[in-house]
Amino acid sequence: MKFSLLKSASIAALCAATTVMAIDPIVIKGSKFFNGKTGEQFYFKGVAYQPRTGLTAENPDPLADAVGCKRDVELFKDLGINSIRVYEVDYNKNHDTCMKLLEDAGIYLFLDMPSPKYSINRANPYWDHDLMSHWAAKVDAFAKYPNLVAWIAGNEVANDKTTTPSAAFVKAAIRDMKAYLKSKGLSTPVGYADNDDMDIRMNLINYFNCGDEETRADFYGINIYRWCGDDATFETSGYADVTKNMTEYTIPSLLTEFGCNAIRPRTFHDIKSIYGPDMSNTFSGGIVYEFTEEDNNYGLVKVSYGSIKVEKTDDYENLKQAYAGVTPKGIKMSEYRPSGRPSVCPPVSSVWAVKADALPPTPSSARCQCMMDSLGCTLKSTELTPDEGKVLGEAVGSICGQTSCNEISYDTSKGNYGNYVACDSAQRSAWALDKSYINSRYTQCKVNGVDTITVKSPKQKDTAECLTMKDDMGNISAPSTPVEDDNGSEINDSDENDSDARDFDEESDDNDGSSRKSSSKTSSASRATISLNQLGAAAAVIMAVMAC
């Protein structure tokens, strides 16, 4: 057991069980991290680590690059850091060498669960079996490493008031991944990192710490780039406001990215506040963005994949001195008495389109397969080319613009989710094609450019049985609440109005911090749901990812 969310009664048992580890376990008690062996409060002094220069592999993975790890771990030790954050890895590769080097150096790992290909899209969010299976595979690949300190389930996903519906899907992912970890006998915490947006930051902070313990984040991260240059102070930078927002928080918080680069070289004067009296009672340290110099100009060093050559920037020595100059003490775990209650969930408003007491369903591959087995008109293959995906996306958009697609749509502001909203995009497309086939009185099962087939006698006769199928965590999930129309009445199969269906956009909106400051924000409608017939030309990208 590497990491625990502790009740006070379990602390002694954990410490006794982990004494054989080369690296001490880090545990959570209340709103603080502690060294589970010594009982000392723990502060993260970290850097973000995602080298990209010289990369040739399709799936970036710095923790599978033994040459780079041997080169960089020596630099980590010289910098005096105790943690790194990595955004993307390939779980099919071997990470033993790098993880052992990090462990021996006393360095803990924050690892993001999503990757650009398999992340919750902020503009058109979804949470399905395909995503969950990839995240679970990453968990399985890293579960054995004692220095894996925490998982991050989302990075700046809801990043403005128009993308808040995505928060519901991230919270559903946190719920399911916590359950998955528990089913494997693991207790590694799962958290979220926000982008410090002024309009929605308090809603996000409260949302991820409200409700049942099973759905709440285990810790909360803030990516903050406010302290710019030597003239900034704790007050003028806005750090004082951010700290004030978190003083009553009942789970740990830290700066999951910091280090404004508006003025270079960076002097990191904010570190004195982060690890000093200003913030150390509220935050558990932070992670400087980022280790390697890339196109966005945040680097401490210049390196390239496959090379042992290192060129340090002026930022490197400045950070080394800044980290060496702070030694926060904190409180002993045995003396700490957590207080307070979880946050109050934010209400639906003009800047927050999520009903707090309802989450998207846990994916159920059995339910989705049962639905597929019931279709009289379906896709010949769910493996599509980009051109086929474009054609199909436009066809489905047209279908759902003319008839109800309530079973594959959702409205986060009302907490309504269709029974098949957690099926993958190909399955949802097939459902829509079958709906059109039924409406045509079983005469039209054709999409030009996409192979479809009719099934005279589907294997599954009664779709009601599909709704009783267990979800992917082995639980029997209740049928979902139908999506309602604008008048508040439930949409039924005969309704010809706009369906408010969405979520055929499978483009992986680049939610990982490795592209920080290099791309503009994705815009979307402020409504919690949109119509499929609004997707139009975007369908080329929408369905192309299905072929990946």
- Catalytically annotated residues: 156, 257
Q: How far apart are CA 370 and CA 4, in angstroms?
A: 38
Q: How far apart are CA 227 and CA 341, in angstroms?
A: 31
Task: Note the residue count of the chain.
Answer: 548
Residue 532: Cβ within 10 Å count: 31
Apex CA 513: angle with CA 511 and CA 517, to 5°?
95
Residue 479: Cβ within 10 Å count: 13
Residue 487: Cβ within 10 Å count: 6
Among 428, 418, 411, residue whose Cα is nearest residue 542:
428
DSSP classification of residue 131: H
Q: How far apart are CA 107 and CA 81, in angstroms?
A: 7
Residue 39: Cβ within 10 Å count: 17
DSSP classification of residue 482: P
Residue 124, Cα to own-chain centre: how many angstroms? 14
For residues 47 and 293, the answer to whether their CB atoms sit within 8 Å is: no
Apex CA 90: angle with CA 523 and CA 164, to 5°?
25
